[in-house]
Structure 1
C-alpha cells in the first residue's frame, strides 16, 4: 500500500494488537520465545481472519468480536499448560 500511494501513516495498524498476538500464539509461537514457525503463524492468521470474517457475516458487534478473539487468546495460552499438567499428573499416577 505504501508503495502505491507513496506515503505511510504511522497509525495504520492501530488497534490490531489483540488480533496479531492471538494469531501468533495460535500459530504456535511460544510467548516465552524460542519456538514457532512462519507456517504456523500463517495458519493462525487464516484462523483469526476467517473467524473475524464469519463474525462480520453474522453482523456481530465489534465489542463481541473483541471478546471472542480475547477468549481465543486465553484458550490458546492456557490449553497447552493445562495439557502439560494433565500429562504430568497422569505420569505420576502411573508410577504410583
Structure 2
C-alpha cells in the first residue's frame, strides 16, 4: 500500500499522551490518525468532546436502584438472548405481569 506523510504540529505532552493511549489500546498513533481521517472522509463529520464524559444524575440513580434490587435478588436472569426476548414478549402480551 502506497502511503504519504502528513506532518501535524501538536504540543509535546499531547503527542506523548496520545501515543501512550494508542499503545495501551494496541494501536499505533498512525493507525488511529488514519482511521480518524477515513471516518472524516466517509461521514463528513468531526467527533470530539471538550469535556470528559460524566454519567448523569439520572443514570447514577438508576444504577444505584439496579444494584439495590440485585442485592435483594429481585431480578431475572436468562441463559440466552432468546429466553430474555420470549420473557419480554410474554409479559407484554399479559399486560406487564412479571412472573416466573
Q: Same fold (TM over 0.5)?
A: no
Greater relative contact order (Cα < 8 A, sep 6+): 1
Largest Rg, 1 or 2: 2
Task: Choose between structure 1 and 2: higher helix proportion.
Answer: 1
Provide TM-score, normalisation by structure 2.
Answer: 0.26
Provide TM-score, normalisation by structure 1.
Answer: 0.26
